[in-house]
Structure 1
């Protein structure tokens, strides 16, 4: 039904941008519900979705450019990588939102360009970030990106100490990603003195702020006794939190711990199956990895 509605709107020259955007959202949700896997969506559904969002954006719906940029960078879901990934087109869509006055659009295209190491956008990304920093000096995402780009030398000279200062400022303003970066910087002695205790403190802080990578790392630390007491039960708790927050590797690891009774934990096949289902939902190839480990899913 969502596909047919969007086809009708596409063929109606009087259709509003708002209606196109709403119908495009319904088609996107069809991909999220895996309707493409059971033959409910025609083959041109991804192209229709892109065209509808472009038209809605051109009609003045800024959120349509933001959604198009996201879809072109990440797909509708881990199990539905549609429309096809197109970094350049994603950047262009976010830039349209930026030109319409969206701070999210501006930050998003700079971020996508940085993580893609796009040479075509490097100088423009640094220039735009300087403008954003001048206009929003306390924005944690602006500060985080300023740290990223300077650490890697993307559009700026490599400067790890400056990167650390930006990450610290972002972390102090509530950025979970920046707090995680501080944990890495202290662990490696990059831009700050190496300090494993400080690294662990920042890992806990990042987890408190919602960093799934920090949660997963705390699972590893408690499973191995790295910097903390070895405790499989606490490790499983952290892996479970990371899985709930969207970390596929943690979901799989939690499943293996429950399946095998790792570290003396009670075997819980039902819970293992739940973790494996979560890992698969997040795009992890559970069966292949279990086969590699000479394990199999519990038959629940």
Structure 2
């Protein structure tokens, strides 16, 4: 490939990245107006010799797919190729996509994603790689299901400060997925994850305080954690607050706050997936 073609490919990649940065910062005139141009530039850069453009393309396609299955399927293939090329962030993006996208789209990627994670754990281990390996081991995605090993990996990640791992350990202890259920231990994990800012943990802790499940019932603390969870990105918490303020259940009835949290829940439910 000529230096001229490679130079043009690199220029296309840099232009696409600049446009993506503008959209992320909210500096474009209209959100998403450059979506098609970014996609074209990244495809050109990838086809003309810039493998690193593949990770950007895959992430961009997922962020802008709006549920289009053919776009998501392309994104998964692009990310799989980028992960195989050796990019650490691309391998993690691939693992995230395989974990969070619908199973009927991702099932054929389980083995490749597991292989990619194994490479990461061998060459550039990170807490996030350990967490996603634990997810797949627990559910038997790409690996033979191994709850004991999954728990050990989540424990290692939790010891390193991962809120995601702490929340998963809470799930394990609450449900007995990887051994005998232990509600006391589960609630300790839940508190730890919530204090680290994990949105789902905050929402679950709020629900526990609201109902007295595994903990003394405390409506005031329930409200505090629902508010924190909604701010952190929990759709469930925002929807619960909309209902509470709308009906006056546990709080003073307030139509304005109810509408605010209903809008928040809608925004959170419809935000694009970031991998």
Q: How does 1:78-89 map to 2 (within 5 A)?
A: 81=66, 86-89=71-74
Q: How much has 1:86 moved relative to structure 2?
A: 2.8
In 2, Cα distance between equivalents of 1:84 and 1:271: 36
Whether contact under 8 Å (2:206, 2:225) holds in the other structure is yes
Whether contact under 8 Å (1:150, 1:158) holds in the other structure is yes
Q: Which residue of 1 aligns with 2:197?
A: 210
**SS, match of residue 86 in structure 1:** helix
Whether contact under 8 Å (2:227, 2:241) holds in the other structure is yes
Residues 277 and 29 of structure 1: CA distance in aligned 2, closer, same or farther (over 3 Å): same
Q: Which residue of 2 aligns with 1:224?
A: 211
Whether contact under 8 Å (2:51, 2:85) holds in the other structure is no
Unaligned stretches of 5+ residues in structure 2: 1-7, 271-275
**SS, match of residue 282 in structure 1:** helix
Pairwise CA RMSD of aligned residues? 3.0
Whether contact under 8 Å (1:72, 1:87) holds in the other structure is yes
Partner residue of 2:120 out of 121, 132, 145: 132
Residues 33 and 273 of structure 1: CA distance in aligned 2, closer, same or farther (over 3 Å): farther
Q: How does 1:278-293 map to 2 (within 5 A)?
A: 278-283=264-269
* Residues 1:75 and 2:64 are matched in the alignment: yes
Partner residue of 2:83 out of 68, 90, 98: 98
Q: How much has 1:56 moved relative to structure 2?
A: 4.4
Q: Please give the per-residue CA displacement for 1:173-194, whole angstroms capped at 9, x wherever unaligned.
A: 1221111110010011121321
**SS, match of residue 179 in structure 2:** coil
Partner residue of 1:276 out of 241, 262, 267: 262
Q: How much has 1:91 moved relative to structure 2?
A: 2.1
Q: Please give the per-residue CA displacement for 1:188-239, whole angstroms capped at 9, x wherever unaligned.
A: 1121321001000111111122221111101111111112222222112111
Q: How much has 1:243 moved relative to structure 2?
A: 1.0
Whether contact under 8 Å (1:258, 1:272) holds in the other structure is yes
Q: Which residue of 1 aligns with 2:108?
A: 120
Whether contact under 8 Å (2:174, 2:186) holds in the other structure is yes
Whether contact under 8 Å (2:58, 2:79) holds in the other structure is yes
Q: How does 1:32-51 map to 2 (within 5 A)?
A: 46-51=35-40
Kindly tell me the number of residue pairs found equivalent between the two proteins: 259
Partner residue of 2:253 out of 253, 260, 267: 267
**Higher relative contact order (Cα pairs below 8 Å, separated by 6+ residues):** 2
Partner residue of 2:13 out of 4, 12, 17: 17
Whether contact under 8 Å (1:216, 1:242) holds in the other structure is yes
Q: Please give the per-residue CA displacement for 1:21-69, whole angstroms capped at 9, x wherever unaligned.
A: 2124446777998757xxxx5xxx644332123234556484x544432
